[in-house]
């Protein structure tokens, strides 16, 4: 009792000379009108990071959570211990899948502007994150993506017409217009239904991975969220479960610097890296150049091998940049410098892999230009095909009354009543 009185008195005494408490409110370095300058970024040269054994203890690899695993150097050469030494056909496949993802994004963005769909989200500048990972995972590993990993579906050969049908919410949409455009779900592609509620996929992925291990299966799970989403509680509970049970899961944080209009500082980037979140949980943490498809591949492969060896989960931060707006509903010109994308020091992921392929003598500018033309035509043809099934506002959607179906095996009386009421009201309104 007397101790408490003493310490209270001491605080009152000291308080007279203390400055008022205040909060630190992060502020991005550049705002509209500023010219962006990233010259103070600490970017280690390609090949500089050590590559520990896949089964190494997390405590021995802390540096990797603060560095940047990079394979492609400025000249387009693949260097250092993380070079995955991929065969030419695989490099070209990854290059093509990244270019296809970009062509798909361009077409669907335009479709939204033309009023054919209500919503779209591009992944421009972040294509290496999903394409590099998809190439490194086994085709039956289970993916729990966020809304910016459409590249995984593309890399797994999912029909782009099917993706477009979902975006158009038309009669060809397997999800019957019940999901926001781009919130795909493709069980056969090992692509879990995307949820708009940020980071819910994290505990789901860890739970799936735990179930896979509990059954003695060999498949692992991988999940993705944005850097802003790491502020969600779900991120942290997922890390705890993954760490405790050494779940066979890869947890990817795509640090594209922005969470709609909030810069990464609001999720903690001023204090430390996102990969360093792993350290507190005793999880292996890798920080990777997310615009280097080979680094993404190598890190994912390392983490997948680790998970398959029962050596535990890995948290990978992909350091990248969101080149376009958050979604078609966003105007980044209102909150960030227009300069940022062009000054981004880690370049463009497609241009970097193209340069590598050209340096290897397996590719050239002419073939690349021809491929871009071919992919644009392919995407245009697919869009025409999908549009035959309907576009926004043209009535070619699943019957409205079907919205009451598929929740219960047998529709309960109150839903049947509501369904009938809706149909009666429409009839009365002459619809
Ligand atoms: C639980 C929850 N909170 C807020 C939102 C609104 N919201 C949608 S996307 C987004 C930003 C997410 O940013 P980040 O995690 O960095 O991913 P990015 O969009 O950059 O890929 C926010 C705040 C939401 N969908 N769900
Ligand atoms: Mg982000």
Q: Are residues 430 and 300 in the same domain?
A: no
Q: Are residues 273 and 350 in the same domain?
A: yes
Q: Residue 78: inside a domain, yes or no?
A: yes
Is a pLDDT exceeding 90 seen at residue 430?
no
212 in a domain, yes or no? yes
Q: Which atom of ligand 1 is nearest to the CA of 226?
A: 15
Atom of ligand 1 nearest to the CA of 232: 1
The pLDDT tens digits of the residues spanning 142-197 come to: 999 999 999 999 999 999 999 999 999 999 999 999 999 999 999 999 999 999 99
Q: Is 10 within the bounds of a domain?
A: no
Quick check: helix, strand or coil at residue 155? helix
Mark whether 196 and 270 lie in a shared domain.
Answer: yes
The answer to whether residue 307 sits within a structural domain is yes
**Residue 143 token pair:** 């993916």
Question: Is 294 in the same domain as 413?
Answer: no
For the chain, what is the mean pLDDT? 96
Atom of ligand 1 nearest to the CA of 199: 1
With a cut of 60, say whether residue 1 has pLDDT above it: no
pLDDT tier, 8 (very low <50, low <70, confident <90, very high otherwise): low
* 333 shares its domain with 420: no
Q: Which residue has the tokens 């179930």?
A: 211
* Residues 409 and 283 occupy one common structural domain: no
Residue by residue, DSSP assigns 112-141 as HHTTSSS-----TT-HHHHHHHHHHS-TTS
Residue 265 sits in the same domain as residue 410: no
Q: In CATH, what number is assigned to the domain containing residue 173?
A: 3.40.50.970
The least confident of 40-49, 197-206, 226-235, 393-402 is 393-402
User: For position 4, what pLDDT does the model report?
Assistant: 52
395: pLDDT confidence band, cut at 50, 70 and 90?
Answer: confident
* Ligand sitting nearest the alpha carbon of 226: 1
* pLDDT over 90 at 6, yes or no: no
For residue 197, the CA-to-ligand 1 centroid distance in Å is 8
Q: Same structural domain for residues 326 and 423? A: no
Strands 258-259 and 262-263: antiparallel
Token pair of 139 as six digits = 């085709």
Same domain, residue pair 211 and 306 = yes
pLDDT at residue 431 in the model = 78
Our mutation pick for probing the ligand 1 site, out of 259, 320, 330, 335, counting the most ligand atoms within 8 A of Cβ, is 259
- Ligand 1 proximal residues by C-beta, below 6 Å: 148, 196-198, 225-229, 254, 256, 258-260, 322, 326
Domain total of the chain: 2
Can you give the residue range of the structural domain that contains 424? 405-431
Clarify whether residues 415 and 381 are in a common domain.
no
Predicted pLDDT of residue 2: 47
- Which strand ranges, in their side-by-side order, compose the sheet holding 142-144? 142-144, 221-226, 249-255, 314-319, 284-289
421 in any annotated domain = yes
Ligand nearest the Cα atom of residue 234: 1
Return the ligand 1 atom nearest residue 260 CA. Answer: 11
Q: CA–CA distance from 413 to each of 62, 239, 401 (Å)?
A: 58, 42, 15
Q: What is the pTM of this model?
A: 0.96
In a domain, 22, yes or no: no
C-alpha 286: how far from chain center: 16
Confirm whether 17 is domain-assigned.
Answer: no
Q: Distance from CA of residue 118 to its chain's centroid?
A: 21
Within this chain, do residues 381 and 412 fall inside the same structural domain, yes or no? no
DSSP state of 74: T
Q: Are 259 and 48 in contact (CB under 8 A)?
A: no
Q: Is residue 425 part of a domain?
A: yes
The answer to whether residues 431 and 317 belong to one domain is: no
What does the pLDDT look like over 117-131, one tens digit per residue?
999 999 999 999 999
């Amino acid at each position: 009792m007397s101790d408490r009185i003493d310490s209270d008195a001491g605080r009152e005494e000291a308080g007279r000379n203390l400055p008022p408490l205040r909060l630190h409110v992060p502020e991005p370095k550049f705002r509209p009108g500023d010219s962006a300058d990233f010259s103070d970024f600490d970017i280690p040269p390609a090949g500089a990071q050590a590559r520990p054994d896949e089964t190494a203890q997390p405590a021995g690899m802390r540096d990797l959570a603060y560095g940047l695993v990079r394979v492609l150097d400025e000249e387009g050469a693949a260097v250092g211990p993380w070079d995955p030494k991929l065969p030419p056909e695989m490099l070209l496949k990854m290059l093509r899948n990244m270019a296809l993802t970009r062509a798909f994004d361009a077409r669907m963005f335009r479709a939204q502007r033309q009023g054919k769909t209500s919503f779209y989200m591009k992944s421009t500048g972040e294509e290496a994150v999903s394409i590099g990972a998809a190439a490194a995972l086994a085709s039956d590993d289970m993916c729990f993506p966020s809304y910016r990993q459409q590249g995984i579906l593309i890399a797994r050969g999912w029909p782009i017409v099917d993706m477009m049908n979902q975006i158009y919410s038309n009669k060809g949409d397997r999800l019957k217009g019940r999901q926001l455009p781009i919130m795909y779900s493709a069980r056969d592609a090992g692509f879990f239904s995307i949820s708009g509620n940020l980071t819910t996929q994290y505990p789901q992925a860890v739970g799936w991975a735990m179930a896979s291990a509990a059954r003695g299966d060999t498949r692992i799970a991988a999940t993705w969220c944005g850097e802003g989403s790491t502020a969600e509680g779900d991120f942290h509970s997922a890390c705890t479960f993954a760490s405790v049970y050494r779940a066979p899961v890869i947890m990817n944080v795509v640090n594209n610097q922005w969470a709609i209009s909030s810069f990464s500082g609001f999720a903690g980037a001023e204090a430390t890296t996102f990969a360093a979140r792993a350290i507190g949980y005793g999880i292996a943490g890798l920080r990777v150049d997310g615009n280097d498809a080979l680094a993404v591949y190598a890190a994912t492969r390392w983490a997948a091998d680790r998970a398959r060896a029962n050596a535990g989960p890995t948290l990978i931060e992909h350091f990248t940049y969101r080149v376009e707006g958050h979604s078609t509903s966003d105007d980044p010109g209102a909150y960030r410098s227009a300069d940022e994308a062009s000054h981004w020091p880690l370049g463009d992921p497609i241009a970097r892999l193209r340069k590598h392929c050209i340096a290897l003598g397996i590719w050239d500018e002419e073939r690349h230009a021809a491929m871009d033309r071919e992919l644009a035509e392919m995407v245009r043809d697919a869009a025409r095909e999908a549009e035959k099934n309907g576009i926004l506002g043209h009535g070619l959607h699943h019957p409205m009354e079907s919205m009451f179906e598929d929740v219960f095996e047998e529709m309960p009386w109150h839903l049947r009543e509501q369904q009938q009421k809706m149909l009666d009201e429409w009839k009365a309104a002459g619809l």
